[in-house]
Chains A and B, each alone.
Chain A
Amino acid sequence: MRDDLLIEIGLEEMPSSEVSHLSEAFSSGMCAALKKHSLSHTGITAYATPRRLALWIKSLQRQSPNKEQAVWGPSTDIAFNDNGMPTKAGLAFAKKNNLDIDNLRKFVQSDGKQEKLFFKQTIEGNYTQNVIENLINQVLSKLPIKKRMRWGKSKREFVRPIHWVVLVYGKEVLKKNILGIVSGVHSRGHRFHADNKIAIKSGSSYEQQLNQYYVVASIDERRRIISEGVERLASQFGGRAVIDESLIDEVVAITEWPVPILGHFDKEFLVVPDEALISAMKRHQKYFHIMNKQGRLMPAFITVANIDSTLADQVRTGNERVLRARLADAKFFFENDCKSSLETKRKKLSGVVYQARLGSLREKTERLVKLCQFLSEFVGSAPDLATRAAEICKADLVTDMVGEFEDLQGIMGGYYAQNDREHPSVVNAISEHYLPRFAGDKTPKSPEGMTLALADRLDTLVGIFIIGLQPSGSKDPFAIRRTCLGLLNIILENDIDIDLREAINFAGNLVSGPSESNHACELALTYTLERFVAIYKEKHIAIENFKAVAALGLANPLDINRRVLAISEFKKLGDAGALISANRRVMNILSGATFEEMVVDSKILLEPAEINLFKNLKQKGSIAQKLIAQKNYPTALMELASLRQPVDEFFEKVLVMAKESHLRENRLALLWQLSQVLRNVADFSLLTNADAD
């Protein structure tokens, strides 16, 4: 027997970031819990709005299958006496398990060692309606709620206060205690359109029933309504709506009956940079903005109401009024900020503390100037332009606009630099220097931008390590992890050939003297290079490839990356596995030997296989050496891969641990040289044949 089960939890408005997140967890949690109880079904459809989490579980078994369980009793020599009659122990087992005493002999089976009393017990499966209450409560109590809350006079915790629970199984309404609420048949409609009780008939009718009461239960369906509506309104206005993924996610999560409405704002506000206007619309008001064919912002916005208003004009007017106040603020800030130059504003930075022991923001910019000077050579930027950008890059932090819209730091700096008629490269460098702002964001494109972005991150990184506030455990108050990832990504994406140890030490010296900063700089370097692990995990590159390279103590991220990528490619070659194994064998043999320079005496090489290996090693080794010097690791490794044959032959035919000590020493030296040749690229002993993690 199977029936559809519908569960709906009705509650006060959930945080927008929780709606789909909890819906998925509720669905997968129920799926796992049902499986654990051996209750099968044919699929789950999840619904979620700000006020409800619902699951339609299709064709859910009414009872889990019966189970057979083996019950073992005492062995026959204990259960029966010499006359073959049941003993006390035998009788007790029979009585306990309700077995026929006269036929007790029938309940005997060997467990492989001896004969014992035995019988198969059938355990009846659980009825779904008996276990469902516990099951739902357990799943709900384990939902990954970011912040749990309490309400009223209950000690119960959930994401928001719960108001109703619907539990309909087939044609039956289940009355269960779910998080302190007695479940029933009644859901509720839209808060303002249809605040009535709705008797839910079944899982299959749920979505349609709610729709009649102005609730679009499906997240995907609301997303479709919103994106189609927003696009339609924008094209009617003669433009194209910009539908940011995170914004539509949020809007989907704060509406039950989404109705897009177009509103306007005054053209006069378009003098304000687009980014500021968009920030005001998107971040504060959750509006979609509209671009024209030329990619310029148009004086309109689309808000998504949660009501099909009887007077939609009033909703529009209300939203226009709110936006007008915000944009008026933005315009006032912008015009006010433009009245003085960044150079003038920079003076105020002396009064702004950057970090307790790292001086003012002004002092930070002074360090950035020196860092840019140093870095320009490596990045290939114009030093005078990069240092000019460094001087004024933080001045926008004391502007009204950035005070109000923090996410515009750097971007506004670029506009204000333009207003001051700074060189276009200086303008670019300033607006780009916070890039990448988040994981997966673009990196700066101009050399001056890269230079300043690197300088800013190096100074932050080193400074925080020097004052001892670096990340520990899960605590990372200054987002140093992100800083380091940004640093590496800027270097890798733009092929910047720089030794990070040198750069970090340079930055460290600017913050404090070498004696004070040395240790912190080493820690900072190690921490930064460890971020490679995250980068490679994302790219599905085996972490051991990185560890093998890192073991060489390199500090040039570009070089490290080239080696790691070359090894990943190399491992795909047929000879790679054998060579890696051979190297491990070499390392084992050498583990007792000293690791000082070992020289091979070619005159006492006897066996053809060792002579052959020696010749090959010399030849391939020197080719590889040249290629490595050119940083051409893929070809170098291809050359080295061809050593596989002579190495295999050597191990097959030559006895390394010869009795004669001079032969033994010489062969060990040969192997040592082999290991050294490989070590020019990476520590091969840390590699396995595993392709990826």
Chain B
Amino acid sequence: MTETISAAKNFQELIFCLEQFWAQQGCVILQPIDMEVGAGTFHPGTFLRSIGPENWKSAYVQPSRRPTDGRYGDNPNRLQHYYQFQVVMKPSPKDFQDLYLASLTKIGVNTSIHDIRFVEDNWESPTLGAWGLGWEVWLDGMEVSQFTYFQQAGGLECFPITGEITYGVERLAMYLQGKDNVFDLIWTEEEGKKISYGDVFHQNELEMSCFNFEHADIEFLTYSFDHCESQCNQLVACKLPLAAYEMVMKASHTFNLLDARKAISVNERQRYILRVRDLARAVAQGYLDSRAAKGFPLADKEILAKAEIGKGK
């Protein structure tokens, strides 16, 4: 790409724009993880990289699946499959908020017209044993991003701290394009011929809502969850944390599908969450140990000296 994009005219340009902006900040531009996940945070590029003393800067788009949010393509604001644009910087830079605001300007948000706020919103992922403090970012009253300083991941104290920005790509695009219905978003345009978000995804929303709510095989999913759990534990024991983590992602999505099928009672629900969390913790520790064995190649010496490796909570 030789020409710099100045504003995001359509959906795909919004993603290009963000990728380009964060690439210029030195981020490793990753591709989405090729598995079903509920959020960009699940991508190993965020969850695993936030563990331990090593530096890391990365940005990527992540298709995110929330089976229970499916509305058969009928709701203008809710989707069971949507895009998050994820940025992580570790250690979080001092000008992290300013960089974020600069990225908004870059995609075409005029900050002297619009009302932009950082409103407290503390993030917690019970399944990942992770939490952080930060904000949701409001643009004229609409939540368009999530901004978090990770404090703990997989039950381990974070040091240095990972700063995470999650852009809701559809929401931002609806804002930029002035659309009230997500399916009306212009994905791309060529010589007056427009391809809408609906053209690309409406059928998918409808079919996947049917699958999530009506057809997903409960028996298989229940078995599958158990299997992922035991395989994960085996893989942790074999010191293969990356492979074990894939099992965590699978288990988590399987749980979400079972939830959408209403196959889990209120009490069981809590137990399932705790089971995934236990896996995430074991993997987090395993990953930390594996990086320690390699001498934390991406860590600064100064930080390495300050970090108390392996201290869990």
A147 CB within 8 Å of chain B? yes
- Jot down 9 A-B pairs with beta carbons below 8 A, ordered by A: A13-B135, A150-B158, A152-B160, A191-B116, A192-B112, A254-B119, A309-B113, A310-B113, A315-B115
User: How far apart are the CA atoms of A50 and B175 in the complex, in Å?
Assistant: 26
> Chain A residues near B116 (CB, 8 Å)?
191-192, 306-307
Is A325 a contact partner of B76 (Cβ separation < 8 A)? Answer: yes
- The 0/1 profile, CB within 8 Å of B marked 1, for residues 274-313 of chain A is 0000000000010000000000000000010111011100
**A152 interface neighbour in B92, B118, B151, B180, Cβ under 8 Å:** B92
Number of inter-chain CB pairs below 8 Å? 109
Is B112's CB under 8 angstroms from A309's CB?
yes
Chain B neighbourhood of A322, CB < 8 A: 140-142
CA distance A689 to B266 in the complex (A): 54
Q: Is A537 an interface position by the 8 A CB rule?
A: no
Q: Which of B136-190 contact A (CB under 8 A)?
A: 139-142, 149, 151, 158-161, 163, 175, 180
In the assembly, what is the distance between CA of A317 and CA of B159, in Å?
42
Q: A12-B97, A321-B180 are in contact. Are A147 and B122 (CB under 8 A)?
A: yes
A129-165 near B? 1/0 per residue, CB < 8 Å:
0000000000000000001011111010000110100
Number of A positions contacting B (CB below 8 A)? 44
Beta-carbon contact of B115 and A153 below 8 Å: no
Contact yes or no, A153 B303, CB < 8 A: yes
A314 part of interface (Cβ distance < 8 Å): yes
**What is the chain A residue whose CB lies nearest that of B76?**
A325
Contact in complex: A325, B306 (CB < 8 Å) = no
Q: Which residues of B have CB within 8 Å of A65?
A: none
Picked from B140, B267, B300, the residue with its CB within 8 Å of the CB of A315 is B140
- Min CB gap B242→A, angstroms: 25
A352 on interface, CB distance cutoff 8 Å:
yes
Closest beta carbon of chain B to A361's beta carbon, Å: 10
A318 located at the interface, meaning its Cβ lies under 8 Å from any Cβ of chain B in the complex: yes
Interface flags for A371-385 (1: CB within 8 Å of B; 0: not) read 000000000000000
B153 to A: closest C-beta gap in Å: 13
**How many Å lie between the Cα of A172 and that of B117 in the bound state?**
35
Q: Are B113 and A314 in contact (CB under 8 A)?
A: yes
Q: How far is the CA of A163 from the CA of B119 in the complex (A)?
A: 18
Cβ of B77 under 8 Å from chain A: yes
Give Cα distance in the complex from A650 to B192, angstroms. 111
Identify B142's interface contact among A17, A163, A318, A329, CB under 8 A. Answer: A318
* Interface pair A150/B266, CB less than 8 Å apart: no
Cβ < 8 Å to B, chain A residues 636-651: none
Contacts of B113 in A (CB 8 A): 309-311, 314-315
Closest Cβ neighbor of B265 among chain A residues? A353
Question: In the complex, what residue of chain B is closest to A12 when comparing beta carbons?
Answer: B97
Task: Specify the chain B residue showing the minimal Cβ separation from A163.
Answer: B94
Tell me if B122 and A306 are in contact (CB < 8 A). Answer: no
A317 vs B141: C-alpha distance when bound (angstroms): 10
Is A16's CB within 8 Å of the partner chain B?
Answer: yes
Task: A303 to B140: give the CA distance in the assembly, Å.
Answer: 9
Whether A356 is near chain B, meaning CB under 8 Å from some CB there, is: yes
Chain A residues whose C-beta falls within 8 Å of the C-beta of B265 in the assembled complex: 351, 353
Residue numbers in A under 8 Å from B76 (CB-CB): 325
Q: Which of A13, A318, A324, A329 is B175 in contact with, Cβ under 8 Å? A: A318
Find the B residue at minimum CB distance from A157. Answer: B151
Indicate if B310 sits at the interface (CB-CB under 8 A).
no
Contact assessment for A353 and B114 in the assembled complex, using a CB-CB cutoff below 8 Å: no
Q: Is the interface of A mostly helix, strand, loop or mixed?
A: loop
Give the residues in chain A near B97, CB-CB below 8 Å.
12
Task: Please indicate the chain B residues that have their CB under 8 angstroms from the CB of A160 in the complex.
Answer: 133
Which A residues are in CB contact (< 8 Å) with B198?
A: none
Bound-state Cα–Cα, A574 to B158, Å: 67
Complex CA gap A483/B120 in Å reads 29
Within 189-207 of B, Cβ neighbours of A (below 8 Å) are at none
Which residues in window 1-17 of A have CB below 8 A to B? Answer: 12-17
CB-nearest residue of chain A to B91: A153
Interface of chain A residues 148 through 197 with chain B (CB within 8 A): 149-153, 155, 160-161, 163, 191-193
Nearest CB of B to A574, in Å: 57
| Cβ-based interface call for B93 (8 A) | yes
A residues near B6, Cβ cutoff 8 Å:
none
Contact, CB under 8 Å: A152 / B120? no
- The reply to whether A153 and B77 form a contact with Cβ atoms under 8 Å apart is no
**In the assembled complex, A319 has its CB within 8 A of some CB on chain B:** yes
Residue on A nearest B175 in the bound complex, by CB:
A318
Known: A149-B149, A150-B151, A325-B76. A254 touches B117 (CB 8 A): yes
Q: Smallest Cβ distance from A233 to chain B, in angstroms?
A: 16
From the candidates A12, A303, A309, A325, name the one contacting B77 in the complex (CB within 8 A). Answer: A325
Q: Is A323 interfacial (CB 8 A cutoff)?
A: yes
| Bound complex: CA A353 to CA B262 (Å) | 13
Kindly state the separation between the CA atoms of A324 and B142 in the bound complex, as whole angstroms: 11
Residues of A within 8 A of B77 (CB): 325, 329
Bound-state Cα–Cα, A12 to B93, Å: 13
Contact A150 B161 (CB under 8 A): yes
Q: In the assembly, what is the distance between CA of A325 and CA of B71, in Å?
A: 15
Indicate whether A150 sits within 8 Å of B117 (C-beta atoms), given known contacts A315-B140, A318-B175, A325-B76. Answer: no
B125 at the interface (CB under 8 A from A): no
- Asked if B111 CB lies within 8 Å of chain A CBs, one says yes
B141 A319 Cβ-Cβ under 8 A: yes
Smallest Cβ-Cβ distance to A287: which chain B residue: B141
Task: Known contacts A306-B115, A315-B115, A325-B76; decide if A150 and B141 are in contact (CB<8 Å).
Answer: no
Kindly list the 5 A-B residue pairs having the minimum CB-CB distance in the complex, ordered from nearest: A318-B140, A15-B120, A153-B160, A13-B118, A319-B141
Contact B149 A356 (CB under 8 A): no
Q: Mark A308-342, 1 if CB is under 8 A from B, else 0.
A: 01110011011101111100010000000000000
Q: Which of B119, B140, B142, B267 has the most CB of A within 10 A?
A: B140
Interface string of B121-137 (1 = CB under 8 A from A): 01000000000110100
Contact residues in A for B115 (Cβ distance below 8 Å) = 305-307, 309, 315, 318
